[in-house]
Structure 1
């Protein structure tokens, strides 16, 4: 199998897997069989496995430079990735009626938590990760990889937002203290963080980021440090 062939197959498999959350009948059938916890665990493992394969396949594809890598690009990636990891750890498990498959149960629009920062924190975290890696990797295979993942994340944000606006009869009330764009509700005064800081989640996010930084060389083959 040539480098480009493996890259195309890996990318197709990754994108096909991420159609599952957008298909209510398929997702409901899997949840009925696996349970919600089992579905989340299985889908997470599948996504991470396919993403790792895709990253490996992009590294094995023929190297064609589009732009050279500069040290500031690595610094930017090393600032963006911790932010993406923290956003993810704060968002996972949080009640979110605006995401694909999200539910309003347990969601308080007056105290939306991380959803006040943005209605789509997981997709923005993915976009931040992909965009930072796009800038820091200027060869053709990685430009295709991270460029398409970045567009995929942005498309998912607007698709989820449109779906929520169509399907939530009380969308205006639920979304009153949140925003699509990260921080927009904070800047215009519609949202203010309340309550104690989620120290456990913040600590977990720091640990996950440190683990990813440590494991990047053995798993990916390249150190992310400048």
Structure 2
């Protein structure tokens, strides 16, 4: 298969997997047919398979260099990825229903917003950080499209989720949550309420980062370490 054709098909499959289920409530009908747990389990596996296909297809696409990789560029993902994975680990099951990875059946409590006080979209920000950090050291056309596209989609999803929240939530929702704010990190009461859960999630994120760092060459064929 032509390298660009495969890459285009992989990107189209990714876009289709996210938009087609929303047409005519296809997702709702499938959930009613097979159950919520089965649907999201299968959907998650399909999404991971398509993501792996996209990454492999980008590596097989014709190499068109936009800028050369300099040794210092590898420091960018190495410095950003620990934060991205801590955000991702903290974001799964967030008690804020209007975002990716929210806890099933969650409702937002303005009196105890949790991580949403720092960011109400941790998984989307984590994905944007992952993708954005990988653009600079991967200056060929296919990988710029790949990582730049993921970064753009992640950031574009934030106002869409927030627009839905404006229709369904009261003013306290936006008053006690933020797209990104460091103010809660200086609040002793916030730390008392969240430090144990945050410490556990941070540890999980750092373990994931260490594992991916060591497995990167095996999984993706290139070492992420600065040279």
- The answer to whether TM tops 0.5 is yes
TM-score under structure 1 length normalisation: 0.87
Equivalents in 2 of 1:212, 1:27: separation in Å?
32
Could you say if the C-alpha distance between residues 98 and 106 of structure 1 is closer, same or farther in structure 2, counting changes exceeding 3 Å? Answer: closer
Could you tell me which residue of structure 1 aligns to residue 181 of structure 2?
183
Could you tell me which residue of structure 2 aligns to residue 69 of structure 1?
69
Equivalents in 1 of 2:65, 2:8: separation in Å?
19
- Preserved contact between residue 78 and residue 225 of structure 1 (Cα < 8 Å): yes
Could you tell me which residue of structure 2 aligns to residue 159 of structure 1?
160
- Preserved contact between residue 97 and residue 107 of structure 2 (Cα < 8 Å): no
Could you tell me which residue of structure 2 aligns to residue 208 of structure 1?
208
Measured against aligned partners, the alpha-carbon deviations of 1:30-50 in whole angstroms (never above 9, x if no partner) come to 333343333332222222111
* 1:213 shift after superposition: 1.5
Equivalents in 1 of 2:34, 2:140: separation in Å?
40
Equivalents in 2 of 1:32, 1:39: separation in Å?
9
SS in 2 for 1:175: helix
- Preserved contact between residue 73 and residue 136 of structure 2 (Cα < 8 Å): yes
- Preserved contact between residue 110 and residue 173 of structure 2 (Cα < 8 Å): yes
- 1:112-191 residue pairs with structure 2 within 5 A? 112-165=113-166, 167-170=167-170, 172-180=171-179, 182-183=180-181, 186=184
Could you tell me which residue of structure 2 aligns to residue 98 of structure 1?
98
* 1:94 shift after superposition: 1.7
Report the number of matched residues.
222
Could you tell me which residue of structure 2 aligns to residue 26 of structure 1?
26
Equivalents in 2 of 1:21, 1:184: separation in Å?
36
Could you say if the C-alpha distance between residues 208 and 36 of structure 1 is closer, same or farther in structure 2, counting changes exceeding 3 Å? Answer: farther
More helix by share: 2
RMSD: 2.5
Q: What residue ranges of structure 1 are gaps of 5+ in the alignment?
A: none
SS in 2 for 1:18: helix
